[in-house]
Amino acid sequence: MAMLEFIPQLGRRALQTVPGLGAASRFLLSSLLSVFNRHFSFQQLFRQIYGFGVRSLILMVVAAFFTGMVLGFQGYYALVRFGATSALGTLIALSLLRELGPVLTALLFAGRAGSALTAEISSMKATEQLSAMEMMAVNPLAWVVAPRIWAGIISVPILCAIFDLVGIFGGYLISVPVLGVDGGTFWAQMQSNVTFSGDILTGLFKALCFGVVVTWIAAWKGYTARPTAEGVGNATTLSVVTASLTVLGLDFILTALLFS
Amino acid sequence: METRAIDWWVGIFVLLGIAALVVLALRVGNLSGFAYDSGYVLHADFTNVGSLKTRSPVKIGGVTIGEVTHIGMNPKTYMANVTMRIEPSIKLPIDTGASIYTQGLLGEQYIAIQPGGMPQNLKSGATITMTQGAVNIDQMIGQMVFSKAAGSSKSSGSQ
């Protein structure tokens, strides 16, 4: 009996998901394109970059510093058995630039800024502020959503570049003064194995993709939240969970595409 | 918060991002051209450079004093021609030698400089004549196995 209920439920789910994805894509595209709308305000965009980017900076710097230091310890432990500690700089730099930098930045961003974005938009919806804007012929996509999505897209790669740099510095502090790896070898090996376009820019491209995905999911979850107190809470939780899982899945696909 | 203050903070944020990218490019990536830009140039011909690459270090007694800037082929002698840039404060006598060694068993290859004792120094653009190329481990193992086999067949023949 349970089986018989399961099958139509699966179909119902699929029928909900596919048009939902279409609507979400239309939502993203019209938000991105509404930079040309007269209700789009650069002042709002700057305000959001301040909220998302500048105020996430301390979180990112601390997280990056500790990530780099742990990488230094852990990499040293693995490499010292083979007498290959000269590769520690390369290990730290490549791990951070290719994977950990973009992914951790995106995950922290989803928790720090994505949740706030969803809560803000969904509570605006619950208190009918979005409907009020439409009544006043103000496009809520251009006035509320677009500056937030663009702010996310701009902020995440910048945060990622800072994350990479601070992380490598943290790894350096553990490797060279604490564990006694030769400083010259550390940088020289790193420089001879890290390429600007292949590793640094590709990592930042990943961060850009994650920035789009995280803010898109956060804004869409907020925009489609049920307009109740419970709906706001659910949307916020769901936004962080969905964004984090999507970032991890997308990272696998991007890594397979970019670094294979 | 005041709009002007926000503009300032966002400006600083964007500048920080650009600065981070520049430092990554120059210090972490291999885009830095100015590491030994002020140094002078030396050449050396080797029979075999192994897996030496541009930007490989040039060392004296384990201390890096320069880097390889170009590896080419001398069409007349069929020798590999290595161009390197040396820190200007390091003056090398004209009877200086250069060899290619490997850092550890699996490490990267580098040029080791053995300074000579002559009073005259090498000038920029000069060529180091006393060189020893990279050791080919495959070849060495081959020779060892071959000499061992030859030795054992000789001893078995005398019995």
Q: Do A54 and B20 touch (CB under 8 A)?
A: no
Residue B77 within a domain = yes
Q: What is the mean pLDDT of residues A102-119?
A: 95
Residue B48 within a domain = yes
Residues B54 and B27 reside in one and the same domain = no
- Spell out the alpha helix ranges (H) of chain A: 2-33, 42-52, 57-79, 88-94, 101-109, 115-126, 129-135, 140, 146-173, 183-193, 202-223, 229-258
**pLDDT tier at A84 (50, 70, 90 boundaries)?**
confident
Tens-level pLDDT at each residue, chain B (159 residues): 677 888 888 899 999 999 998 888 888 776 654 456 678 899 999 988 888 887 788 889 888 888 888 899 988 888 899 999 888 888 889 889 999 988 776 677 889 999 888 888 888 888 888 888 887 778 888 888 888 877 766 555 444
pTM: predicted TM-score of the whole model, two decimal places: 0.73
Nearest-angstrom CA–CA distance, A210 and A249: 11
Residue B36 confidence (pLDDT): 62
The length of chain B is 159
Q: How many CB contacts within 8 angstroms connect chain A with chain B? A: 95
Residue A106, min C-alpha distance to chain B (Å): 16
Residue B155 within a domain = no
Average pLDDT, chain A: 91
Residues B50 and B88 reside in one and the same domain = yes
DSSP state of A99: I
Grouping H, G, I as helix, E, B as strand and the rest as coil, residue B28 is: helix
Residue B94 within a domain = yes
Residue B159 confidence (pLDDT): 44
Q: ipTM score here? A: 0.81
Nearest-angstrom CA–CA distance, A260 and A237: 34
Residues B28 and B54 reside in one and the same domain = no
Residues B1 and B59 reside in one and the same domain = no
Q: Do B12 and A54 touch (CB under 8 A)?
A: yes
Residue B65 within a domain = yes
Count of domains observed in chain B: 2
Residues B5 and B74 reside in one and the same domain = no
- Chain A residues in contact with B15 (beta carbon < 8 A): none
Q: Do B28 and A191 touch (CB under 8 A)?
A: yes
- Evaluate whether B150 touches B118 at the Cβ level (below 8 Å): no
Residue B147 within a domain = no
Residue B157 confidence (pLDDT): 47
Residues B60 and B10 reside in one and the same domain = no
Q: What is the mean pLDDT of residues A185-212?
A: 88
Phi and psi angles of residue B111, each rounded to the nearest 5 degrees, phi first: -100, 125
Residue of B nearest to A158 (CA): B17
Tell whether A32 lies on the interface with B, counting CB pairs under 8 A. no
Residue B4 within a domain = yes
Q: Do A86 and B6 touch (CB under 8 A)?
A: no
Tell whether B106 lies on the interface with A, counting CB pairs under 8 A. yes
Residues B48 and B11 reside in one and the same domain = no
Determine the structural domain holding residue B25 and report its residue range: 1-32
Q: What is the mean pLDDT of residues A130-146?
A: 89
Residue of A nearest to B53 (CA): A192
The residue ranking higher by pLDDT, A82 or A72, is A72
pLDDT digits over A17-54, tens only?
A: 888 889 999 999 999 898 888 888 888 899 999 999 99
pLDDT digits over A222-242, tens only?
A: 999 999 999 999 999 999 999
Residues B76 and B126 reside in one and the same domain = yes
The residue ranking higher by pLDDT, A259 or A27, is A27
Tell whether A84 lies on the interface with B, counting CB pairs under 8 A. yes
Structural domain boundaries in chain A: 35-258
Residue A243 confidence (pLDDT): 95
- Chain B residues in contact with A196 (beta carbon < 8 A): 25, 29-31
